Amino acid sequence: MINYGHFIGGKHVPGTSGRYTDVFQPMDGSIRGKVALATKAELDAAVENAKAAQPAWAAVNPQRRARVLMKFVELIARDNDKLAEILAREHGKTIPDAKGDIQRGVEVVEMCFGAPMLLKGEYTDGAGPGIDLYSMRQPLGVVAGITPFNFPAMIPLWKIAPAIACGNAMILKPSERDPGVPMMLAELAIEAGLPPGILNVVNGDKDSVDAILDNPDIKAVGFVGSTPIAEYIYSRGCANGKRVQCFGGAKNHMVIMPDADMDQAVDALIGAGYGAAGERCMAISVAVPVGEKTADELVKRLIPRVESLKVGPSTDGSADFGPLVTAAHRDKVKGYIDAGVAEGAKLLVDGRNFKMQGYENGFYLGGSLFDHVTTDMTVYKEEIFGPVLCVARAKDYASAIKMVNDHEYGNGTAIYTRDGDAARDYAAKVNVGMVGVNFPIPVPLAYYTFGGWKRSGFGDLNQHGADAFRFYTKTKTVTSRWPSGIKDGASFVIPTM
């Protein structure tokens, strides 16, 4: 039985609240360990520790901070297998998928090697008579990241790396469902040379989140999770004068045009719809075939592929996907399938009764496939976050793009077509933050930014890329003139150039 406390000041410390929650192993339903849930006092103590350590770290030049991140990446590579196994056992995704989770996080750390370039300000010589103007980017101080269960390596790394590259100290509050990887990442950061106190991991629940939002020494908060919680964190954090960046739910559509390569489109839907058991904010959960002929052909090809999906334990590298994260979440997804049937959607493949031989207590669902889903149905409107794909037929291209634009979420979308004009038009007109053209999961590479629109994103700046460095710094602008014999006398007019 593993007992997770917190990681504060460069070392593991036990929880003192007396409150714990179970950490499950989804593939067999067993309890893997317990994690302490911090009190406000424990969170505040971590902030004091970070606040004390941050000024010295900010004084380290950006190139040397980047060298610590380089060593951090080396250590993650060294311990990649161990990290992936912990991740798979606590989350439920397969080990190959867990390694992908880690790698996409590492790519953002690698992007942050460019901190010396990304933190450069601007300089104008001779902006006026003897006057120079320059700007500088400076760290905010202590910042916080609140991260979800579905990517326990990737999203913490998206928060940690740019924050500390910019010279901040970070308080990370990971999901209490799978805390093992974030705790190990904190250990590796210290081994890489990060000073104690610059990265602190505080495990907890809503009490810890509220303590983060209310602590005046935390200057910025980044969050990824569901939309209702994103709205709550954004509102409360902003009301307390913090810089806040929140990313919420999604309902990602893939439009399949009549001229699409159908084999390619089906492959894309199977991987993007059912990978990680659908527990991805970028999962394609709605297929939108344009025209009845396209829809009939798509559905005919999808049915046998969904029926043949291989569900297995997290340790089975040949499985297409593993269990869901908890029994409660599995039951919630089942409830969505029940609602789809009750509301009149046609359930072509039913994964509700799947049982894994030898793992009967695991949190498994098979793949499910709906057809004739309409925009007023619960399975269309809400984020299911499970291995369920909905086919919502569109009579024409205009109807398809309207369907996407009218949805409350605007995280990611894709279009499959051979027509460059249609693809270009779709990318320009669709009201969504990330677009794939013949590409099913349009997560940008680390040097571009990641973020959704509408109720999928709250705040002005996105994750990773240059936006991350803007989010974790503040800009100071200096107007400078040195004495040179100029005698202007007193002026009561606003200065102009």
Pairing of strands 131-139, 123-128: antiparallel
Cβ partners under 8 Å of residue 104, min gap 6: 151, 154, 443
Instruction: Report helix, strand and coil shares of the chain as percent, to nearest 5.
Output: 40, 25, 35
Quick one: tokens of 443?
Answer: 């997560």
Cβ(302)–Cβ(389) below 8 Å: yes
Q: What SS3 class is residue 5?
A: coil
- Residues 6 or more apart whose CB falls under 8 angstroms from that of 244 comprise 220, 221, 222, 223, 233, 234, 237, 238, 458, 459
Beta bridge partners of 453: 410
Query: How far apart, in whole angstroms, are the C-alpha atoms of residue 261 and residue 415?
Result: 11
Which of 112, 166, 246, 281 is labelled catalytic? 281
Is position 281 annotated as part of the catalytic site? yes
From residue 88, how far is each of 81, 185, 371, 448 by CA, in Å? Answer: 10, 15, 32, 28
Dig out the tokens for 188 from the structure. Answer: 């590796």
Distance CA 333, CA 335 (A): 5
* Dihedral over Cα of 80, 191, 182, 56: its sign: negative
The rounded distance, in Å, linking the Cα atoms of 256 and 400 is: 9
Tokens of 476: 């100071």
- The answer to whether 306 and 367 are in contact (CB under 8 A) is yes
Pull the structure tokens for residue 116.
Answer: 């010396």
* CB 53 within 8 Å of CB 195: yes
- Helices 40-58, 206-214: crossing angle, 10 deg rounding: 50
For 116-150, b where at least 16 C-beta lie within 10 A, e where not — what string?
eebbeeeeeeeeeeeeebeeebebbbbbbbbbbbb
DSSP code at position 271? H
| 201 strand-pairing partners | 7, 172
Backbone angles phi, psi at 370, to 5 degrees: -105, 145
34-44 exposure pattern, b = at least 16 Cβ within 10 A, e = fewer: bbbbbbbebbb
Structure tokens at 497: 């150039």
In whole angstroms, give the CA distance from residue 155 to residue 489. Answer: 56
Catalytic residues: 281
